[in-house]
Amino acid sequence: MQELDILKLELKKLNAEYAKIKDVPAEKRSEFGRELNARKSEILDRMRQAEEAALDVEIEPLDITAPCAPNEKIPDVYSVFQGSKHPLMTEFDRVIAIYQLMGFDVVESRQLDDEFHMFDSLNFPKEHPARDGYDTFRTEEGLIPPAHTSTMQHRVLKAYRDKLADGGEIAVVVPGRVYRNEDVDATHEHTFYQCEGVYVSRDCTMGQMLGILREFFEKYYEQKLNIRTQPGYFPFTEPSLEFMIEKPKSLGGKKGDFLEMLGCGMIHPNVLKMAGIDPEIYHGFAWGGGIDRLVMLRYGLKDIRYLESGNLNFLKEF
């Protein structure tokens, strides 16, 4: 019998004894009552302890997703490989965390967009050849899976512009998946990831932008880096730059080995104007670059195609 059941019986017996009080001589009655009460509280204490001990019993966790009867021992075959987070997603979280620590908000990009956000809102002139440079896919309805995270700039500027009127600034990063219809090889994928940055205030400068980017890359690669810029062309920034870092020695780089990491520049006045921000009062800078490239350098990956391959031998290395 369980301890708790024994105690319940004892309590029942004891309760029966209370009926005898009336037969006890008057001078002994209070002592008799006190003794019964003491025994009763002792039994109740032990019952409480027994109840708690019963709750402490370790119950084996039940995997309700396991394809077998719930209380059966799970065969070893199901515990062979538990799976893990994809390395790109782990790195994505790291990238976002660095920007968040610098005070940036995060807005997610989308997987389907339109001609206006892909081009018009970014100051691409109609029919301009620069539109072809983005190798966009199109759906039959004419929608566009975004070829860069810059498609979100217009939305971010509009959603945050009230902060400017309140004396604040816009500081947002936009991570997202992007798509390009181009020939696939070891350094080009049709599907990859980018992170965009947008900053607007009354008096921001290109120097601040370079400071933020340097800080980001040094945090990401956990070391001091040499950086370099060269002029670039993007319709949505003026001036536009390409931002490079010198490949660190610890990652197999030699002196003078500069790698282009992203495009950036001061936001074109037309882009601000289209989002309802007065370019006579406010200035901004923006940047955007591939996450895959960052990760490939960090882990010495030679072929970008591994990242989207779903190849378990590759994924198990992380």
Angle at 193 between CA 269 and CA 188, to 5 degrees: 105
Is there a contact between 112 and 139 (Cβ–Cβ < 8 Å)? yes
Per CB under 6 A, 237 contacts ligand DAH = yes
From candidates 109, 121, 136, 150, binder to ligand DAH by CB under 6 A = 150
Residue 185: strand pairing partners: 188
CB of 301 to ligand DAH, least distance (A): 20
Q: Using CA atoms, how far apart are residues 243 and 228, in angstroms rounded to an integer?
A: 6
Q: How far is CA 102 from CA 95, 99, 203, 206, 227, in A?
A: 11, 5, 18, 17, 19
* Options 112-120, 214-222, 260-268, 296-304: segment touching ligand DAH (CB under 6 A): 260-268
CB of 290 to ligand DAH, least distance (A): 8
Q: In this structure, which amino acid lies at residue 234?
A: F
* Options 4-12, 44-52, 160-168, 261-269: segment touching ligand DAH (CB under 6 A): 261-269
Per CB under 6 A, 95 contacts ligand DAH = no
Per CB under 6 A, 288 contacts ligand DAH = yes
CB of 266 to ligand DAH, least distance (A): 8
The residues near 301 (Cβ < 8 Å, ≥ 6 apart) are 295, 307
**In this structure, how many other beta carbons lie within 10 angstroms of the beta carbon of residue 262?**
23
From candidates 175, 248, 265, 284, binder to ligand DAH by CB under 6 A = 265
Give the single-character DSSP code of 282: -
Per CB under 6 A, 291 contacts ligand DAH = no
CB of 292 to ligand DAH, least distance (A): 12
* Options 38-46, 55-63, 71-79, 259-267: segment touching ligand DAH (CB under 6 A): 259-267
Angle at 315 between CA 310 and CA 317, to 5 degrees: 160
Per CB under 6 A, 234 contacts ligand DAH = yes
Q: Using CA atoms, how far apart are residues 166 and 38, in angstroms rounded to an integer?
A: 72
Give the single-character DSSP code of 124: P
Per CB under 6 A, 119 contacts ligand DAH = no
Is there a contact between 284 and 170 (Cβ–Cβ < 8 Å)? yes
Nearer to ligand DAH, 37 or 187 (CB): 187
Q: Is the dihedral of CA 121, 125, 128, 133 positive or negative?
A: negative
Query: In terms of Cα–Cα distance, which of 93, 103, 119 is closest to 215?
Result: 103
Q: Using CA atoms, how far apart are residues 114 and 144, in angstroms rounded to an integer?
A: 5
* Options 47-55, 72-80, 234-242, 298-306: segment touching ligand DAH (CB under 6 A): 234-242
From candidates 117, 148, 154, 155, binder to ligand DAH by CB under 6 A = 148
* Options 3-11, 71-79, 257-265, 270-278: segment touching ligand DAH (CB under 6 A): 257-265
* Options 161-169, 209-217, 230-238, 253-261: segment touching ligand DAH (CB under 6 A): 230-238
Looking at residues 164 to 193 of the shown chain, list those that interact with ligand DAH (rule: CB under 6 A). none
Residues near ligand DAH, by CB under 6 A: 148, 150, 196, 234, 236-237, 240, 263-265, 286-288
